[in-house]
Amino acid sequence: MSAKSLILFITLPLYIIDQISKWWIVMNFAPPPSMPAPSNVADLEYHITVIDGFLNIIRVHNTGVAFGMGNGTTWAPFVFLAVPLIALTIITIAWKKKFFIGWTGKAAFALLLAGIFGNLTDRLTQGFALEHLKDESFWTRLMNGYVVDFIDVILPFYGNWPTFNVADSCICVAAVLMVICSWNEEHNKKA
């Protein structure tokens, strides 16, 4: 399968689902009261309990990276605008060097693109949707971009897992597929 086919049939639909779900959250949920996410969902003005004691839909603004690291810091907007661009460059080079082999590698490539583009779009646009920044400069609004996270999972013996979104899920599944792809390649070399 070509890169164009992967992007058309996997990346693009997942990117659209990611963006629609995030904008639905932004349009229908009150902004979160603080950063990072409140430890108790009941503290939020509005949330949906999907499975009591296990799964909630909430609105979280993640200005950091995975698991909210860097949330609220002054350096996070600069770093986390650069990281996706660097990642896109690396995976493009890896694609050209035939790193993504077999169906697992190709699916990982498509999922990585969906996840990176989904979260990058948030960082580039969400700061402009903040009402309290409407009179601020372009640069200020851009630097106040954030990723919309909304899937809140509660795990037994752990508690609240860091809130995530569709793009984050794509990146995590891609990481697992890349491990499988690497294992298969190593296994095939030994055979």
pLDDT per residue as tens digits for the range 36-71: 455 566 556 678 999 998 999 999 888 877 666 777
Can you give the pLDDT at residue 113?
96
What percent of the chain is predicted at pLDDT more than 90?
Answer: 50
Can you give the pLDDT at residue 173?
97
Q: Which domain holds residue 152?
A: 3-190
Give how many domains the chain has, as a whole number.
1
Strands 55-62 and 147-155: antiparallel
**In this structure, which amino acid lies at residue 132?**
H
Residue 178's contacts (CB-CB under 8 Å, 6 or more residues apart) are 104, 105, 108
Read off the DSSP letter of residue 191: -
Residue with tokens 């229908």: 28
- The pLDDT of 102-122, averaged and rounded, is 94
In contact, 126 and 26? CB cutoff 8 Å:
yes
Distance CA 105, CA 176 (A): 10
Q: What angle do CA 73, 77, 79 make, to 5 degrees?
A: 100
Say whether 152 is catalytic.
no
The SS3 of residue 2 is coil
Which residue spans within the chain are E strands per DSSP?
Answer: 48-51, 55-62, 147-155, 159-160
Distance CA 74, CA 49 (A): 33
Provide the phi-psi class of 8: left if phi over 0, else alpha when psi is between -120 and 50, else beta.
Answer: alpha
Instruction: Given the residues 18, 122, 149, 152, select the one marked as catalytic.
Output: 149
Say whether 18 is catalytic.
no
pLDDT band at 162 (very low <50, low <70, confident <90, very high): confident
- The pLDDT of 19-32, averaged and rounded, is 92
Can you give the pLDDT at residue 109?
94
Provide the phi-psi class of 64: left if phi over 0, else alpha when psi is between -120 and 50, else beta.
Answer: beta
Q: Which residues pair with 60 in a beta bridge?
A: 149
The model's pTM is 0.86
The per-residue pLDDT of the chain, averaged, comes to 86
In contact, 87 and 116? CB cutoff 8 Å:
yes
